[in-house]
Amino acid sequence: MAVPKIGLIVVGDEILSGLRQDKHIPAVIERLTARGLHLSWVQMVGDDREFLTATLKRSFASDHIVLSCGGIGGTPDDHTRQAAAQALGLPIVRHEGAVELIRQRCEESGQPLDEFRLRMADFPEGASLIPNPYNRIAGFTIGQHHFVPGFPVMAWPMIEWVLDTLYPQFHHRELEYKRALLLFNTPEARITPVMEQLEAQYPDCKLYSLPSVGDNKLARHIELGVKARGDFAKKEVVSNAFTELVKVLESMNCEFELIN
């Protein structure tokens, strides 16, 4: 079974307006990397139910694993639960398991069990719960979409639970192999045909080019490399493609330095 692509949706006007800086992208990448998984795409969406519904409708139509952070509270600017239900054509129902967790939280904190708090137990019909170790207020899963709060202290352990409980079969199934060099005094336009030629010759590999203006320690340069994901056999493919890349650059009298 192939490892599905993994996407991340970050919800909230506060991110798009700059009131808060996103911390979810690096945190999710870190947690995926620790499990041999990779983030394929990210989308940031404001508190706009119509646009969020359209975004989720597209992602539900894929076979991707999708992690969504934010918008599952009970205030008027929280739209994620309703948007997920609308995207799937499902009703919103009150989840009794989530109600019980909210009741426990209220008893522990001395807060009233009111309608505002109970709204956070309303999920698309058929959803299952994602446990929240911080305050018991659950997130939810439906299909391969997993919805957690926007607060990092809650979201990140909940995402870890999703990855470790629902997808352990995909951990470390695909390794990433990479070889790279620093290329000096060569414009990208000159190496683009080389990259295209090698990708055609080695279709299992991707070539990448990361230009840098340099600093006081390193002159302007391009990090140029070959990478591939898959089983151990891909390591040899990457090595072969990189060897060919080095030969071509040498034939062009390019100045470069191997970095790995």
pLDDT for res 230: 84
What is the domain partition of the chain in residue ranges? 6-170, 175-258
User: 27: which 2 tokens?
Assistant: 């945190």
Cα separation, 97 vs 101, in Å, equals 6
Q: Which of 232, 173, 196 is nearest to 36 (CA)?
A: 173
Is this prediction's pTM over 0.85? Answer: yes
pLDDT for res 11: 97
β-bridge mates for residue 137, sequence order: none
* pLDDT more than 70, % of the chain: 99
Task: Give residue 212's Cα distance to chain centre.
Answer: 25
Domain 6-170: which CATH number of 3.30.70.270, 3.40.50.1220, 3.40.980.10, 3.30.40.10: 3.40.980.10
pLDDT digits (tens, 9 = 90+) for 9-41: 999 999 999 999 999 999 999 999 999 999 999
pLDDT for res 79: 96
pLDDT for res 175: 85
pLDDT for res 73: 92
Q: Which fold has domain 175-258?
A: Alpha-Beta Plaits (3.30.70)
pLDDT for res 232: 81
Q: Which residues of the chain have pLDDT under 70?
A: 260
User: 132: which 2 tokens?
Assistant: 């929240």
Neighbour tally for 74: CB within 10 Å? 16
